[in-house]
Amino acid sequence: MIRPLILPFLLLPLLAACSVAKGEAAVTASTGTPIIIAHRGASGERPEHTIASYALAIEQGADYIEPDLVLTRDGVLVARHENEISETTDVASRPEFADRRTSKIIDGHKFTGWFTEDFTLAELKTLRARERLPQLRKANTAFDGQFDIPTFAEILELARTQSEETGRIIGVYPETKHPSYFATIGLPHERPLLQTLAAHGMADEGSPVFIQSFEVENLKALRPKTKLPLIQLMSADGGPADDQGQSYAAMATPMGLKEVASYADGIGVEKAMVIPRTMIGNLGPPTGLVANAHAAGLKVHVWTMRRENYFLPLSHKSGLNPTGHGDLVGEIRAFLDAGIDGMFSDNVTEAVMARTRE
């Protein structure tokens, strides 16, 4: 959901075909049961943002699958963590694209590499996905080179077919990545996003879709154009790239949440904003964010639940090895007890276990 982690220890048509009525299409969100959002698919077990990753997450019991959306030169939405793709594809080893390497300023930061907006969809489809965190997820590298870059349309088709095959509705939870940047180069997200959803019968009110963004103005632009729920993403630090004078901390206050509620239906927040960690790295007491957001009429979804020791609170680690798998179920249960409405997780199996209290 946010920029690639720097690892210091490494230097580092239609759901109508389903038997479930569309009015129930918000999956478990309509029942009050916290939803499980497969963060970039089953990204703890397959290279992220691949059809294989999304399919595995559905098999494991995800309610929603989450693609980060960027655009190609010919205006097609595709799923990548960032529009700079050297970390997640084999583009750097492809001599035919060597001259596409360049530097750009995006959201005030300089990046050097290869960018989706400099490739047509046909060109991107020749690339193959790679594991983004190979030091932490060595097992995932066994799948390097096996999968291509999926389009948003292909992901929606997967959700449709899997809904029919499983008899349960599979939702989608797309994120618009760097929407103000893409708008400045003539590739705004809003039209292709809504058109693609409509083409797959998922643009109507009640469809199993959340649209999320770390920025503000594209959510405001979407508000009069769609009845689908919108989610304002927030991190513990910084602020939206399209409003340098605003901070997420201010947006998370009771007054800020009331403003967010004027254009969004929920917030997707870094988990430390709900349960911060103590000085030694354990979970501390919850903040008042969930209660304040609920008072403003907003849902609260937290990111990101991951089972590697590197990401877990001290008391939930299984040892010193950062790649080891600790007690993610226990961490998730603490957040469920704090009253959250959903969670993004790289590991769907553990999220399902935590939610069912097995």
Catalytic residues: 39, 81
Phi/psi-derived region of residue 5, left when phi > 0, alpha when psi is between -120 and 50, beta in every other case: beta
Strand-pair partners of 174 = none
CA 196 to centroid of chain Cα atoms: 18
Instruction: Give φ, ψ of 197 to 5 degrees.
Output: -60, -45
CB contact at 8 A, 43 and 346:
yes
Instruction: Give φ, ψ of 109 to 5 degrees.
Output: -120, 145
Q: Are strands 68-71 and 77-79 parallel, antiparallel or unpaired?
A: antiparallel
For 216, the token pair is 């503000």
Distance CA 338, CA 289 (A): 10
Among residues 91, 87, 10, 8, which one has the least CA distance to residue 48?
Answer: 87
**Angle formed at CA 252 by CA 326 and CA 181, multiple of 5 degrees:** 90
CA 122 to centroid of chain Cα atoms: 25
CB contact at 8 A, 7 and 317:
no
Distance CA 296, CA 292 (A): 6
